[in-house]
């Protein structure tokens, strides 16, 4: 199996089961900080080993280096700063303190992690602009990632953490949420040597299904990991439980038995396009995957990124040297009326736009909200039914 990123073994920051009760009891007596959702899901990802080899939250110097040059001060390649940003407050926290980190996404804000504070820094306006430009390639306040990042605060609390829980993810998605440690274990049990990962924050339509099958065939992989984001999305995106049900139905009916692993991870979507694609590659390598499908406008939003910017960024020599995982570069896929099957558009240069069945996300939502049926060439009927039921229920709430 492929080795973890920049490490001989995973570095999950979760507390050992034996030490957990004692650490949690001690944490109740510590000064505490209420995290924002971004910092909380960073903690969950650190706890599960997804962010190997990181041990905690970055300081200002590392964050600025990562934003500008995609490496930490010590030279570790990393595409996006992993931060605990807070608003300044009179909480008495100082460098050297051990503090409890409370979860904003669970009622009563239980303790999620314990942090040793190595640095406390403050971001200037210039720092914020450098971070936003590096991460998102934009300062536009309408960009959902920029909008969220600006709301998180300017105080940077850095230092290693020990994670004491999985937030709401294990409880809300007990059959789907898995840590990188668990996924590597499952891959080893299946004796899969090569694994293709498919990242999704959306339900999977026919084009996604066929893309995964193309990638499996092209890479000659032993199996497919469909890995869905379970954290926060932008308004209008379909909730994780609906996506989960739709994907499971598709796999059950339309993939060969035992060829697919379905899992989810506890992270909030950044909509950072190329930089986020690199982050996706790191934590899929940490899961044990040998390949990641990177498609058109991977992790993008609106028109902020070029259609294939998320593929081109992997062409940088220092990135190919840093990562062991390989990229399956996918074009836009759609149903061809001429060939009566889903194709990659680059493979059919003789086609005109009318030769494809293409629906935008807005069109799909409109069709479903109006109770109409999606074309069978676009979505499997069983998948479409799950989505239609969700939209119909939402319309009456």
Residues noted as catalytic: 201-202
User: Are the beta carbons of 270 and 305 closer than 8 angstroms?
Assistant: no
As given in the structure block, the two tokens for residue 47 are: 């706890």
As given in the structure block, the two tokens for residue 174 are: 């007990």
- CA distances for 354 relative to 48, 335, 347, 357, angstroms: 46, 11, 16, 7
As given in the structure block, the two tokens for residue 175 are: 């059959």
- Segment holding 263, helix H or strand E: strand 260-265
Q: Where are the alpha helices (DSSP H) in 137-205?
A: 144-150, 169-172, 180-190
User: Are the beta carbons of 35 and 101 closer than 8 angstroms?
Assistant: yes
Angle in degrees, CA 272, 276, 279, rounded to 5? 155
Sign of CA dihedral 338, 340, 341, 342: positive
Give the burial class of 222: count Cβ atoms within 10 A of its Cβ; 0-12 exposed, 13-18 middle, 19 or more buried. Answer: middle
Q: Which residues of 56-74 are buried (b: 16+ CB within 10 A; e: fewer)?
A: bbbbbebbbbbbeebbbee
As given in the structure block, the two tokens for residue 374 are: 């999606």
As given in the structure block, the two tokens for residue 151 are: 């709301």
Backbone angles phi, psi at 289, to 5 degrees: -80, 145
Q: Which residues contact 366 (CB under 8 A, 6 or more apart)?
A: none
Greatest Cα-to-Cα distance within the chain, rounded to the nearest angstrom = 69
């Amino acid at each position: 199996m492929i080795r973890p990123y920049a490490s001989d073994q995973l570095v999950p920051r979760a507390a050992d089961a034996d030490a957990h009760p004692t650490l949690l009891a001690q944490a109740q007596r510590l000064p505490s900080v209420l995290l924002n959702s971004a910092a909380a899901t960073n903690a969950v990802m650190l706890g599960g080993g997804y962010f190997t080899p990181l041990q905690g939250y970055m300081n200002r110097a590392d964050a600025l280096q990562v934003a500008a040059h995609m490496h930490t001060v010590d030279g570790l390649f990393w595409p996006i700063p992993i931060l605990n940003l807070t608003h300044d407050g009179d909480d008495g926290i100082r460098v050297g303190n051990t503090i409890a980190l409370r979860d904003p996404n669970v009622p009563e804000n239980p303790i999620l992690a314990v942090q040793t504070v190595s640095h406390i820094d403050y971001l200037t306006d210039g720092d914020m602009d450098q971070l936003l430009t590096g991460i998102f390639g934009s300062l536009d306040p309408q960009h959902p990632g920029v909008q969220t990042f600006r709301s998180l605060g300017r105080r940077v609390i850095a230092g290693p953490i020990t994670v004491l829980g999985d937030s709401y993810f294990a409880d809300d998605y007990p059959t789907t949420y898995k840590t990188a440690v668990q996924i590597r274990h499952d891959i080893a049990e299946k004796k899969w040597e090569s694994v293709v990962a498919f990242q999704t924050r959306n339900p999977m339509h026919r084009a996604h299904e066929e893309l995964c099958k193309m990638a499996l065939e092209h890479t000659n992989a032993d199996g497919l990991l469909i890995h869905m984001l379970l954290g926060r999305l932008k308004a209008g995106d379909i909730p994780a439980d609906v996506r989960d049900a739709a994907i499971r139905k598709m796999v059950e009916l339309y993939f060969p038995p035992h060829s697919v692993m379905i899992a989810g991870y506890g992270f909030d979507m950044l909509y950072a396009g190329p930089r986020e694609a690199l982050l996706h590659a790191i934590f899929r390598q940490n899961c044990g995957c040998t390949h990641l499908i990177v498609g058109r406008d991977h992790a993008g939003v609106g028109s902020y990124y070029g259609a294939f910017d998320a593929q081109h960024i992997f062409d940088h020599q220092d990135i190919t040297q840093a990562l062991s995982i390989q990229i399956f570069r996918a074009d836009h896929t759609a149903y061809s009326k001429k060939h009566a099957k889903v194709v990659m558009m680059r493979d059919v240069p003789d086609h005109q736009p009318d030769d494809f069945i293409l629906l935008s996300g807005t069109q799909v939502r409109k069709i479903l909200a109006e109770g109409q049926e999606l074309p069978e060439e676009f979505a499997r009927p069983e998948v479409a039914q799950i989505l239609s039921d969700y939209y119909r229920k939402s319309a009456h709430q």
